C-alpha cells in the first residue's frame, strides 16, 4: 500500500486532537458490510483491559492482513478497571487508571522500511487538515488546524519537520498542534525504540489544553503510544493506545465517541486512507 504518503509524522499525532474549520460534508452513505470497512469493533473481554504488544500478543488482537483495523474504546468498562488499570511497563506510563482509552490494531503493507516510517512520523506539518467525524455536529470536520515541529519545548521555536536521522532511539522531540476544540498545545514525542524491525513512540501534552478557556487536560493528561512491528519484508503491524488521565475534565470523559473517531482519523492518515472516508468508526 504505497498510498502511505499521508502517514508521515505518525506519532507526532500524539494527543492528536487538533484542526481547522470544517469543510462542507458529503452526504452520508449506507454503512458497508464489515469486510469493506477500514475499522471494526471487536468482541473483547473488557475486564482484562488493553494490553499492548509487549513480548506478547496484544489485546485486542491484530486483525488478519487486508482486513479492517480493530478499534475499541474502553471508556464504558467497569469503573474499577478505569480507576485501577495499571499500564504495562513497556508503555513508560506511570499514572494508574484513565478517563478515556482507545486502542487500534491493524496490519498494513509498506515497502519503504523503518526509515520510511520514521520520515513519515517526523513530518509533523502533514498532520494539518486531518478530518474526523463529529458525533456532535453529525458531519466531517477538520481535526488539526495547524501542526509543526519545534526546536525546543517553547511554542515560539518553530522549525522544519524532523528528519529520520534526528529520530534516534532515546531522543525527545517537541511539536505544536492546534486542535479544533482545545486550541494550541505543545507535545513531547519520545522515541522509545527505533530499529529496523520495531518502532515505539510515546507522545504526551506538556502544556495545558483548554476548551472555551476552561482547562480540560493538564500537562501529561493525554498520552499516546504507537507500536510498529515488522511482520515480513512488506508487512507491518500497528498498535496504538490513546488515553486521558482519570483526573481529566469530565467534558472529556463524556465524549467517548469523539475519542474513537479522532484516533481512527489518525490511523487512517497513517496508512494513506482518506480520513473522512465513510463510514466513521463511531457514527
Per-residue pLDDT tens digits for 91-147: 999 999 998 899 999 999 999 999 999 998 999 999 999 999 988 889 999 999 999
Q: How far apart are CA 133 and CA 282, in angstroms?
A: 8
How distant, in Å, are the alpha carbons of 13, 15, 66, 123 from that of 219?
A: 16, 11, 37, 23
Give the pLDDT of residue 21: 26
Q: How far apart are CA 241 and CA 239, in angstroms?
A: 7
Q: Does 16 have pLDDT greater than 60? A: no
Q: How far apart are CA 6 and CA 2, in angstroms?
A: 10
Half-sphere exposure of 220 (CA within 13 A, CB side): 6
pTM: 0.82
Secondary structure of residue 20 in the 3-state scheme: coil
Q: Does 224 have pLDDT greater than 90? A: yes
160 vs 254 pLDDT, higher one: 160
Q: Does 269 have pLDDT greater than 90? A: no
Q: Point out the least confidently predicted range of 70-79, 90-99, 191-200.
A: 70-79
Residues 150-169: tens digit of each pLDDT: 999 888 899 999 999 999 99
pLDDT averaged over the chain?
A: 82
Report domain extents, the chain.
2-19+60-271
Start-to-end Cα distance in the chain: 27
The CATH class, in words, for 2-19+60-271 is alpha beta
Secondary structure of residue 165 in the 3-state scheme: helix
Helix, strand, coil abundance in the chain, percent, nearest 5: 20, 35, 45
Tell me the pLDDT band of 33, cut-offs 50, 70 and 90: very low
Q: Which residue has the cell 526509515?
A: 115
Give the pLDDT of residue 10: 36
Half-sphere exposure of 177 (CA within 13 A, CB side): 36
Give the pLDDT of residue 170: 97
Strands 131-134 and 139-142: what pairing? antiparallel
Tell me the pLDDT band of 253, cut-offs 50, 70 and 90: low
Amino acid at each position: 500500500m504505497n498510498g502511505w504518503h499521508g502517514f508521515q509524522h505518525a506519532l507526532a499525532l500524539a494527543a492528536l486532537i487538533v484542526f481547522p474549520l470544517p469543510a462542507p460534508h458529503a452526504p452520508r452513505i449506507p454503512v458497508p458490510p464489515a469486510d469493506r470497512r477500514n475499522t471494526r469493533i471487536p468482541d473483547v473481554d473488557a475486564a482484562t483491559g488493553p494490553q499492548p504488544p509487549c513480548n506478547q500478543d496484544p489485546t485486542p488482537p491484530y486483525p488478519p492482513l487486508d482486513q479492517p483495523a480493530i478499534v475499541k474504546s474502553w471508556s464504558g468498562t467497569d469503573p474499577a478497571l478505569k480507576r485501577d488499570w495499571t499500564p504495562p511497563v513497556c508503555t513508560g506510563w506511570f499514572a494508574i487508571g484513565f478517563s478515556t482509552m482507545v486502542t487500534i490494531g491493524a496490519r498494513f503493507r509498506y515497502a519503504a522500511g523503518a526509515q520510511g516510517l520514521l520520515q513519515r512520523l517526523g513530518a509533523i506539518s502533514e498532520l494539518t487538515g486531518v478530518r474526523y467525524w463529529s458525533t456532535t455536529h453529525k458531519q466531517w470536520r477538520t481535526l488539526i488546524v495547524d501542526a509543526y515541529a519545534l526546536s525546543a519545548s517553547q511554542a515560539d521555536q518553530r522549525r522544519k519537520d524532523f528528519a529520520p536521522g534526528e529520530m534516534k532511539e532515546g531522543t525527545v522531540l517537541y511539536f505544536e498542534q492546534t486542535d479544533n476544540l482545545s486550541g494550541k498545545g505543545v507535545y513531547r514525542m519520545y522515541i522509545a525504540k527505533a530499529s529496523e524491525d520495531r518502532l515505539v513512540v510515546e507522545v504526551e501534552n506538556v502544556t495545558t489544553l483548554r476548551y472555551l478557556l476552561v482547562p480540560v487536560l493538564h500537562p501529561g493528561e493525554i498520552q499516546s503510544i504507537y507500536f510498529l512491528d515488522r511482520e515480513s519484508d512488506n508487512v507491518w503491524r500497528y498498535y496504538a493506545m490513546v488515553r486521558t488521565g482519570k483526573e481529566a475534565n469530565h467534558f472529556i470523559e463524556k465524549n467517548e465517541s469523539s475519542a474513537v473517531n479522532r484516533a481512527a482519523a489518525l490511523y487512517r492518515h497513517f496508512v494513506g486512507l482518506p480520513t473522512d472516508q465513510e463510514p466513521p468508526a463511531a457514527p
